[in-house]
A and B are shown apart, each in its own frame.
Chain A
Amino acid sequence: MANILVIDDDSMSRDLIAEMLAEKGHKTVKACDGKEGLQLYDTTRFDIVITDMIMPDVEGVETIIQLKKNYPDVKIIAISGGGRISAYSHLSLAEKFGVQKTLAKPFRTNDLLTAVDELLEI
């Protein structure tokens, strides 16, 4: 049972991910963008952060950079429905900035739960 922060600007995605995690008994806190997510992490050390990449205001990459900078041990799963920054996809870029797992939407519930379990074992 883990405490997981879900950052996604799409409410349906947020709710769905929360529901998927709830299946396994994980607790989730939802944030609608990177700014909110960072604020929340400052107050609570979540076990895992799941963050979407394409978001308004503070983007996924920026969120990851800030988290990694302030909390080097943070465990992050980056998710994305597409998009590209120069030669890299968002997810490959996220990997470059140190996220441990990436999932491309649409992913299955099992894919998500497996990624979470693997991260918790580390």
Chain B
Amino acid sequence: MGDKREMDETGNGFSRLRDEAEGKLAKSLDAAPELEGRDPAEIIHELRIHQIELEMQNEELKRFQYALEESRNKYQDLYDFAPVGYFTLSRKGLIDEVNLAGAALLAIPRQKLIKMRFSHFVAPEFQNRWYLYIASVFDHEEKQNCDLTLKREDGSSFHVMLDSIRIDGPAEQQGENGVNHRLRIAVIDITERKRAEETLRESEEKFRYMTENSTDVIWHLDRNYCFDYISSADERIRGFMQHEVIGTTVWSLLKPEGIEHVKHMNAQRLSDEQNGIRTGTVRYELEQICKDGSWIWTEVNVTAHHDQNGELIGLHGVARDITERKREEEALKLLYAAIEQAAEGIIITDPAGIIQYVNPAEEAITGYNRDELIGRTPSIFKSDEHDEAFYWKIWETINAGNVWSGRFINKKKDGTEYHEDASISPVYDKSGNLINFVAAKHDVTKEIELQQQLLQAQKMEAIGTLAGGFAHDFNNLLQVILGHLDVILSVPDLPEKIQSSLNNIDRAATSGAELIKGMLLYSKKMPFKFQPVDLNTIVTSVKSLLRRTISKNIKIETLMAHDLSVIKGDSTQIEQVLINLAINARDAMPDGGGLTIETRTTVLDEEFCLSYPDLKPGRFVLLSVTDTGKGMDQETVKHIYDPFFTTKEPGKGTGLGLSVVYGILEKHGGKIICYSDPSVGTTFRIYFPAIEEVPE
């Protein structure tokens, strides 16, 4: 390759050629008689031309040889420094030539490899494959390839791919059949590739396993919305086998409303994709049909699938059976609606008692709206009616895991007190941890009022019966006394002393009769004379009576409506009512004050009558008597209609007055309501049913 040894060899070659040429010339001169007789100058001229031709050819040959050498050197370099191992093997499989890469692959110097058997480096388990391979290469003209494992002398192995072709060897190495084929093998180390392939295969295997074993259904749709893949979970969930679904469209799974929804969303997706916007995952809740014809709810997440150029080529999806979840959601919604619409108040707190939820009924009961209650504790409702021990007992009970039931007297937002029956229960999670307290409350204020009214009525009833029985017998006795008195008094010329005594007896018996009449009135024993009555007339006449009997330091005022409706009643009894109330009012103002009697027509609605069951909604005439006296506390007001109940000193009143009033009003179908405040005074409001017109 341009080195000195090779140039010397070339020089020696040229001199050998000259010797050969002279030898040949000598032979040709002997065989060339036509040269005799020719002009020597002409011959010399021709000889010189030939010489020049020969020199030119020589130069051409030299140039050619040089180019050949250069080319040879280049290809030798390419051969030697190729990244792939090149081996040339003889028919017998011995290494005739090897490049540097090949030697490096086997980790043996190139010279040492020459004449080694290539099969020496083939891993034992691949020996058979190797022999079959080279036999195939020698039998075919086309390139053959194979991959196997080679082993180095240090024991390490590597995977290779062999690309081999049969070539003709040098003539002197021809075999008996006249052919001399050799193998040229390109050995490519594919160890890394194999490793990568293995890793990929393992990864694919792993993902396939996950896909096929996922409880969710994993699927892929092509451009035409046909399934080209669906995992086996679909069979578990919907009952369809994979081959029954592959090739069908996604529309075959859905209800019409689901199809419409999906198509709409897809149209949007397509439009976005066409405008260069990459769409993400879209979530649906859709009903899907099962093989048995039933429908299940599924949550489906769909993602666009793009090729390397970014073109939309399909859709990936994951579907999950949410039928159970939907059922639970519905149940939860139902529960929530039930609690929201329950008539009972419901409060839910955390374990520390902080309010987390109140329902509308609780808002209505307490007057607070939920924003004002959430974050607070139920102590916001505390009135002064319970001591600390009461609340501690509740806390102790519910924290011990028990339900507390009882009655609260609480305070609304506007400060009014109300009674409520409540039960408070602890709530635990699945692990047994306390997570909430829930209280269900029922406002019983009205019920208590009604109960008290009922009790009052029953008391009246009981007393009435007793009184009635007593009165009956007593009247009979009085009848005998008065009757016989009449007989005696009819005797003429009675001595004055006897007459006087008899008169006293008469007065006493008559008073007794009056007393009993009062009691009978209370127990509704007296027959009433009902006729149309104008209350204003009664008020006017009573006012003049009162003015004569009540001291001047009490101002008497009457406010009478001009268009007062007429009522049906007993004037005498109504007078008695008014007088009774006026007397009580006077007694409440020992130092003077104001007494106001008012009449007007009014309409009582259903809401008002809810508190007074013996009142029916409609038009009423209101008679009210108001004083500015010392008033009564609520405890006293509860008892004012009890017979013989009196706040007056002994001898100042029998206590029959208001019980009689109550009885009279009940007979009239009316109602008396007392409002009193010790610092303000008292008002009695009496409602009489109004009649439409004066009967004939």
Which residues of A are at the interface with B, using a C-beta cutoff of 8 A?
A: 10, 12-13, 16-17, 19-20, 23, 54, 80-84, 87, 89, 91-92, 95, 102, 104-110
Contacts and interface: CB of A to CB of B under 8 A. Distances in A.
A92 B464 CA distance: 17
Contacts of B473: 81
B450 interface: no
B525 A108 contact: no
Contacts of B479: 13, 16, 81, 105-107
Given A13-B479, A19-B484, 19 more contacts: A10-B476, A12-B480, A13-B483, A16-B479, A19-B487, A81-B473, A82-B468, A82-B471, A83-B468, A89-B527, A91-B527, A92-B527, A104-B526, A105-B475, A105-B479, A106-B481, A107-B482, A109-B483, A110-B486
A54 B464 CA distance: 16
B490 interface: yes
A91 to B, nearest CB: 5
A13 B481 CA distance: 10
Contact of A109 (B469, B487, B516, B517): B487
B412 to A, nearest CB: 39
B238 interface: no
B527 A82 contact: no
A42 B353 CA distance: 84
B513 A106 contact: yes
30 contacts: A12-B476, A19-B483, A19-B484, A20-B486, A23-B490, A81-B472, A81-B476, A82-B468, A82-B469, A83-B469, A83-B525, A84-B464, A84-B468, A84-B523, A84-B524, A89-B524, A89-B525, A92-B528, A95-B527, A104-B475, A105-B478, A105-B479, A106-B478, A106-B481, A106-B483, A106-B509, A106-B513, A109-B483, A109-B486, A110-B486
Residue of A17, A91, A105, A107 with highest tally of chain B CB at under 10 A: A105
Contacts of B438: none
B95 interface: no
Nearest to B529: A92
Determine the main DSSP class of A at the interface with B: mixed
A81 B480 contact: no
Contacts of A89: 524-527
B475 A81 contact: yes
Q: Which 9 A-B pairs rank lowest in CB-CB distance, beginning with the nearest? A: A81-B475, A82-B472, A109-B486, A106-B478, A16-B483, A82-B471, A106-B479, A92-B527, A105-B475
A83 B472 contact: yes
B60 to A, nearest CB: 155
B466 to A, nearest CB: 11
B520 interface: yes
Interface residues of B, number: 30
A24 to B, nearest CB: 11
A54 B481 CA distance: 20
A67 B696 CA distance: 31
A20 B527 contact: no
Nearest to B666: A87
A10 B480 CA distance: 10
A95 B528 CA distance: 12
Contacts of A95: 527
Contact of A16 (B472, B484, B526, B528): B484
A57 to B, nearest CB: 17
B476 A13 contact: yes
Interface in B479-518: 479-484, 486-487, 490, 509, 513, 516-517
A74 B519 CA distance: 33
Contacts of B525: 82-84, 89
B191 to A, nearest CB: 114
Contacts of A106: 475, 478-479, 481-483, 509, 513
Which of B471, B483, B513, B524 has the most CB atoms of chain A within a 10 A radius of its CB?
B483
A17 B482 CA distance: 11
A85 to B, nearest CB: 11
B279 to A, nearest CB: 83
A58 B53 CA distance: 180
Contacts of A109: 483, 486-487, 490
A84 B524 CA distance: 7
Contacts of A80: 472
A79 to B, nearest CB: 9
A113 B3 CA distance: 181
Contact of B472 (A54, A108, A110): A54
A23 B487 CA distance: 8
A83 B527 CA distance: 11
A20 B480 CA distance: 11
A19 B520 CA distance: 27
Nearest to B489: A109
Nearest to B490: A23
Given A83-B525, A91-B527, A20 B483 contact: yes
A51 B480 CA distance: 16
- Select the residue from A19, A81, A91, A95 with max chain B CB neighbours within 10 A: A81
A86 to B, nearest CB: 10
A91 B469 CA distance: 15
Given A83-B525, A84-B523, A105 B476 contact: yes
Contacts of A13: 476, 479-480, 483
Contacts of A104: 475, 517, 526-527
Contacts of A92: 527-528
A106 B486 CA distance: 12
A109 B482 CA distance: 8
Interface string B615-656: 000000000000000000000000000000000000000000
Residue from B469, B476, B480, B484 whose CB has the most chain A CB atoms within 10 Å: B476
* Most B-side CB within 10 Å, residue of A20, A84, A95: A84
B505 to A, nearest CB: 13
A20 B482 CA distance: 11
Contacts of B468: 82-84
B14 to A, nearest CB: 162
A80 B195 CA distance: 123
Interface-centre pick from A16, A20, A82, A105 (highest chain B CB count, 10 A): A82
Contacts of B480: 12-13, 16
Contacts of B484: 16, 19
A82 B476 CA distance: 9
B527 A17 contact: no
B471 A81 contact: yes
A12 B479 CA distance: 9
A2 B481 CA distance: 25
A86 B503 CA distance: 38
A55 to B, nearest CB: 11
Nearest to B480: A12
Nearest to A10: B476
Nearest to B481: A106
A95 B526 CA distance: 13
A102 to B, nearest CB: 7
A16 B487 CA distance: 9
